[in-house]
Amino acid sequence: MTNSFTLSCGMRVLVEPMPYLRSVACGLWVDSGSAAETDQLAGASHFIEHMLFKGTPTRDARTIASAMESVGGMMNAFTSKEMTCFYTRCLDEDFRLALELLADIYLNSLFDAEEFAREKNVIIEEIKMGEDDPEDVVSEQFTALLWPQQSYGRPVIGSVETVSAMTADQLRAYQRRQYTPQNSVLTVTGNVSAEQVQEAAEALFAGFRAGAEAVLQPPQLVTAAKGGYGYTYKDIEQNHICLGFAGVDCRDDDFYAVQLLTNLLGGGASSRLFQEVREKRGLCYSVYSYPLHYRPCGYQMTYASTRPENTRQLIDVVLEQINDILHNGVDEKELHSSRQQLKGSLLLGMENSGSVMNRLGKSMLTLGRVRTVDEAAAALDALTAEDVMKAARRIFRPGELLLSVVGAEDPQLDVKQLF
């Protein structure tokens, strides 16, 4: 059972005791990601994430790095388009240390000038590393096609140009606007009680105060492109392909139907695409589909890679399967199998403190409440074949296919003619 309360400083806290474990996972979330950034500050949220590991008045960067590892735990962070999370996972006996460490870096980071300059170079190398990865490039190109000239279409990490131009003062000012108690959520799961968390958190976050500047909110209107094609040359052996469509947001009535539709299309080794593209035709090693759901928008996408001469055939087979769903529907057997697969993933995730911590934080920030596993399982059970068909007709719209290709040969395809 999830316990929820608000600290005296105004920060929300969610605790899910899991007394059968020996671990505790803590996540400190801020309702701020790359979607809230201006063009000039593209990549700021990710840069701040890095800087919070670079020193406080009582810990230098090395001490922060070793604090959890020295007791057998781990500490890390991630930034997405809509949120940033700093998290730990450790033995239950080290819970207080983990929470104290998170509070220290969240509230007291120094943004030291030397560390800032060094980390700017690290992030530029990270950007270059992503540019060397065709799977990263093809997916970033896809989102840029889908949401052109909008923050949701930009890479979370920013660009070499924007990161190079940033100053430490800009990052501090941006952090003061975004990292407020009302914009933050603490999630704790594992072998710990709500009373233990509340007592520790009240003490550690007693000095957490909002700055004078208003918190920036993510844009509420995102306009999706009505189809598009993008190609980037890379001297590599395969063409990497992302194809898909604009999807639904995280609050949409068709949220679960799209999840089920995408899973049966390309969610696992028994999915239509895996069987048709890899097992029957041998066109690729890996093919999969997935949806992403943000607050104002979403998408449904399929990824695969293959030799250049097989590119058109692979794309045709993927679109044949989509058309088969549109024209012939889905049968009860594959519907049941896909539903059980999703439910199994949800329920098995309940056995891991880190998974539960993530689910609580993301749900609270995106929905303003906890979407329970029982609620999700019940919603999946209630879906019919017609519900999935309704979602398919809504997602797979003729003339609105988006296709992104990265590789040594441009297939030069007209997406309007493909679908």
Tally of domains within the chain: 2
145 shares its domain with 245 = no
Distance from chain centroid for Cα 31: 13
Q: What is the pLDDT of residue 215?
A: 57
In which residue are the tokens 């540019």 written? 131
Query: What domain range is 10 assigned to?
Result: 3-204
Q: Are residues 240 and 159 in the same domain?
A: no
Among 204, 239, 255, the domain boundary falls at 204
Pairing of strands 23-30, 84-91: antiparallel
Whether residue 337 is found in the same domain as residue 305: yes
134 shares a domain with 57: yes
Statement to judge: residues 134 and 30 lie in one domain: yes
Domain assignment present for residue 223? The answer is: no
Instruction: Determine the 3-state secondary structure of 358 from DSSP.
Output: helix
168 and 290 assigned to the same domain = no
Q: Are 254 and 180 contained in the same domain?
A: no
Q: Which residue, 189, 216, 229, 115, is CA-closest to 357?
A: 189
One domain, residues 200 and 232: no
Residue 162 falls within a domain, yes or no? yes
**Residues 248 and 193 reside in one and the same domain:** no
So which residues are the catalytic ones?
A: 49
Mean pLDDT by 10 residues, the chain (419 residues): 96 97 97 96 98 97 96 98 98 98 98 97 98 98 98 98 97 94 97 98 93 58 96 98 98 98 96 97 97 97 98 98 97 95 94 96 96 95 97 98 98 96
Q: Are residues 269 and 333 in the same domain?
A: yes
Please indicate, yes or no, whether residues 236 and 352 belong to a single structural domain of this protein.
yes
Q: Is residue 318 part of a domain?
A: yes
3-state secondary structure string, 116-149?
HHHHHHHHHHHHHHHHCCHHHHHHHHHHHHHCCC
pLDDT reported for residue 220? 65
Domain presence at residue 218: no
pLDDT of 71 reads 97
Domain membership flag for residue 163: yes
- At residue 213, the pLDDT reads 59
Q: Is residue 216 part of a domain?
A: no
**CATH number for 310:** 3.30.830.10
Q: What is the pLDDT of residue 310?
A: 98
Q: Identify whether 219 is part of a domain.
A: no
pLDDT for the residue numbered 16: 98
Would you say residue 34 lies in a domain? yes
Q: Are residues 309 and 359 in the same domain?
A: yes
Contact 104, 59 (CB under 8 A): yes
